Structure 1
Amino acid sequence: MSKNSLSWIAVAPDAPYFIDGDGADWTPIGQNDAISWPELAGLFRRRDLPAVEAHLRWLVEHGVTCLRLMIEYAQVRHRYFERPAGTAVPAMVRLWDDLFAMCERVGMRILLTPVDTFWMWLHWRHHPWNAAHGGPLDHPSRLLLCPETRGAIKARLSFIIERWGGSGALFAWDLWNEIHPAQAQGRADGFGDFIADLSQHVRRLEQRLYGRSHPQTVSLFGPEWWTRPDLPIAEPIFRHPDLDFASIHIYRHGAIDDPRDTVAPALAMGEVVQRCLAEIADGRPFLDTEHGPIHRFKDKHQTLPEAFDDEYFRHMSWAHLAAGGVGGGMRWPNRHPHVLTPGMRRAQRAMAAFLPLIDWRHMRRASVAITVRGHHGFACGDDAQAVAWIVRRRALLPDGRVDRAPGKPARVDLAMPDGRYRVTDWDTEPGRVIASAEHVASGGLLRFTAEAVCGDRAFAVRRIG
Structure 2
Amino acid sequence: MKSKRAVLHGILLTVGLLAVDASAAEPEGRLRLAVAQSKSPEVFERVELSISGMPEGGNPFDAESVTLDLEVVSPSGKSVRVPGFFTRDFARKLEGNREVLTPKGDGVWRIRWLPVEPGLHRLTAVAKSNGQLVGRAESAIDVASSKRHGIARVEPTNRRYFRLDDGTPLFLNGLCACWHGSRGTYDYDDWLAAYQKAGINYIRIWMWPIAFGIEWDKQDKLRYRMDAAWQLDYVMTEAERRGVFVMLCLDYHGIFEVKPDYWGGNNYWPRHPYNATNGGPCKTQNDFFTSEEAKRLYANRLRYIVARWSAFPNLLAWEFFNEIDNEYAYLKHDDVVAWHGEMGRRLREMDPVAHMISSSFTGGSERPDLFDLKQMDFSQYHSYNEKHPARMVAEKTARFFKKYNKPFFVSEYGTDWRGWKPDTDPHFRALHQAIWSGAFAGAAGTGMTWWWESIHGANLYHHWSALSEFLKGTGIGRPDMRPAEFGNGQGPVLALGVAARDEALVWLLDKACDWPDGAMMADPAAVAGAKITIVGAADGSWSAEWFDTGTGKQVATNNVEARSGTIALEPPPFKVDIAARLKKTNR
How far did 1:60 drift? Answer: 0.8
Cα distance in 1 for partners of 2:274, 2:400 equals 34
Aligned CA distance change for structure 1 residues 110 and 399 (closer, same or farther; 3 Å): closer
> What are the residue-to-residue correspondences of 1:231-270 with 2, within 5 Å?
233-237=367-371, 239-251=372-384, 253-255=385-387, 264-270=388-394
Match of 1:355 in 2: 471
Give the whole-Å Cα distance in 2 for the aligned partners of 1:159 and 1:368. 47
- Aligned with 1:223: secondary structure? coil
For 1:305, the aligned partner's letter is: D
Match of 1:114 in 2: 250
Q: 1:275 aligns with which of 380, 390, 399?
A: 399
| CA distance 1:357–1:106, change in 2 (3 Å) | closer
The answer to whether the 8 Å contact 1:144/1:150 transfers is yes
Runs (5+) with no aligned partner, structure 1: 226-232, 256-263
1:133 paired to 2:278 = yes
* 1:377-416 mapped onto 2 (5 Å cutoff): 377-394=495-512, 399-401=519-521, 403-416=523-536
Identity %: 19
| Cross-structure match for 1:218 | 359
Name the SS for the 1:372 alignment partner.
Answer: coil
Q: Which amino acid aligns with 1:155?
A: N
* 1:285 matches 2:368: no
Paired residue for 1:96?
Answer: 232
Partner of 2:566: 445
Change (3 A) 1:61 1:126: same
SS in 2 for 1:242: coil
* Equivalent in the alignment of 1:20: 164
Q: How far apart, in 1, do the equivalents of 2:439 and 2:222 lie?
A: 40
Q: How far off is 1:398 after superposition? A: 6.5
1:80-95 matches, within 5 Å, as 81-82=215-216, 83-95=219-231
Q: Which runs of 5+ in 2 are unaligned?
A: 1-7, 11-44, 47-147, 258-266
Q: Distance in 2 between matches of 1:222 and 1:285?
A: 17
2:322 maps to which residue?
177
Q: Quick check: 1:216–1:244 contact (8 Å CA) kept in 2? A: yes
User: Given the alignment of the two structures, is residue 375 of structure 1 paired with residue 520 of structure 2, yes or no?
Assistant: no
1: CA distance, partners of 2:255 / 2:324: 14
Does 2:238 correspond to 1:105? no
Deviations 1:352-403 (A, max 9, x none): 1222343122334245235521112223334443332221123588653575
Residue in structure 2 matched with residue 229 of structure 1 by the alignment: none
**Offset at residue 142 of structure 1 (A):** 4.5
Q: Distance in 2 between matches of 1:184 and 1:159?
A: 30
Question: Match of 1:244, SS?
Answer: coil
Deviation (angstroms), 1:120: 5.0
Report how far residue 309 of structure 1 moved.
5.9
Going from structure 1 to structure 2, the CA distance change for 1:169 and 1:398 (only over 3 Å counts) comes to closer
Kept in 2, the 8 Å contact 1:248–1:287? The answer is yes
Separation in structure 1 between the aligned mates of residue 297 and residue 341 of structure 2, nearest angstrom: 16
Aligned partner of 1:436 in structure 2 is 557
Q: Tell me, what secondary structure is at the counterpart of 2:429?
A: helix
Q: Distance in 2 between matches of 1:182 and 1:447?
A: 50
Would you tell me which structure has more strand in proportion to its own residues? 2
Is 1:161 equivalent to 2:306 in the alignment? yes
| CA distance in 1 between partners of 2:333 and 2:321 (Å) | 14
- Read off the aligned partner of 2:194 and give its amino acid letter: W
Partner of 2:72: none
Offset of residue 306 of structure 1: 8.8
Which residue of structure 2 lines up, in the alignment, with residue 305 of structure 1?
423
Distance 2:469 2:568 in 1: 25
1:58 aligns with 2:58: no
Alpha-carbon distance change, 134 to 194 in structure 1, aligned in 2, over 3 angstroms? same
Cα distance in 1 between the residues matched to 2:463 and 2:566: 30
Question: Residues of 1 paired with 2:568 and 2:250: CA distance?
Answer: 48
Alignment of 1:62-81 (within 5 A): 62-72=198-208, 74-75=209-210, 81=215
The aligned residue for residue 438 of structure 2 is 320
Code of the residue aligned with 1:223 in structure 2: it is: G
Partner Cα separation in structure 2 for residue 36 and residue 135 of structure 1: 29
Greater relative CO, 1 or 2 (CA 8 Å, sep 6+): 1
TM-score (norm 2): 0.66
> Which residue number corresponds to residue 154 of structure 2?
11
1:314, 1:344 within 8 Å by CA — same for their partners in 2?
no
Which range moved further: 82-91 or 165-174?
82-91
In 2, Cα distance between equivalents of 1:156 and 1:309: 44
The aligned residue for residue 145 of structure 1 is 290
8 Å CA contact retained: 1:12, 1:19: yes
Paired residue for 1:30? Answer: 174
How far residue 313 of structure 1 moved from its aligned partner, in angstroms, is 0.6
Asked whether the equivalents of residues 508 and 579 of structure 2 are also in contact (C-alpha less than 8 Å), the reply is yes
Checking the alignment, whether the CA contact within 8 Å between 1:414 and 1:445 is kept in structure 2 is yes
Distance 1:423 1:341, change over 3 A: farther
How far the C-alpha of 1:329 sits from its partner, in A, is 2.0
Q: Which of the numbers 42, 67, 73 marks the counterpart of 2:184?
A: 42
Cα offsets for 1:160-184 (capped at 9, x unmatched) = 1101111112121113322328448
Q: Which residue of 1 aligns with 2:580?
A: 459
Cα separation, partners in 2 of 1:399 and 1:446, compared to 1, 3 Å: closer
d(CA) in 2 for partners of 1:338, 1:143: 35
For the 8 Å contact 1:266–1:315, the answer to whether it is kept is yes
Instruction: Indicate conservation of the 8 Å contact 2:393/2:410, yes or no.
Output: no
Report which of the two has the higher share of helix. Answer: 1
Counterpart CA distance in 2 for 1:192 and 1:447 is: 48
Number of the residue aligned with 2:136: none
Indicate conservation of the 8 Å contact 1:363/1:385, yes or no: no
8 Å Cα contact 2:486/2:532 also seen in 1:
no
Query: For each residue in 1:426-448, what CA deviation from the matched residue of structure 2 results, as whole angstroms up to 9, or x when unmatched?
Result: 22111122223332222332111
How has the CA–CA distance of structure 1 residues 59 and 440 changed in structure 2, closer, same or farther, with 3 Å as cutoff? same
Shift of 1:62: 0.9
Tell me if structure 2 keeps the 8 A contact 1:143–1:183: no
Distance 1:449 1:303 in 2: 35
Report the number of matched residues: 426
Which structure has the larger Rg? 2
Using the TM superposition, name which of 60-69 and 303-312 deviates more: 303-312
Q: Confirm or deny: 8 A CA contact 2:254 2:269 kept in the other structure.
A: no
In structure 1, what is the equivalent of residue 447 of structure 2? 329
Separation of aligned partners in 1, 2:288 and 2:520: 42
Q: Provide the rounded CA distance (Å) in 1 between the counterparts of 2:513 and 2:207.
A: 43
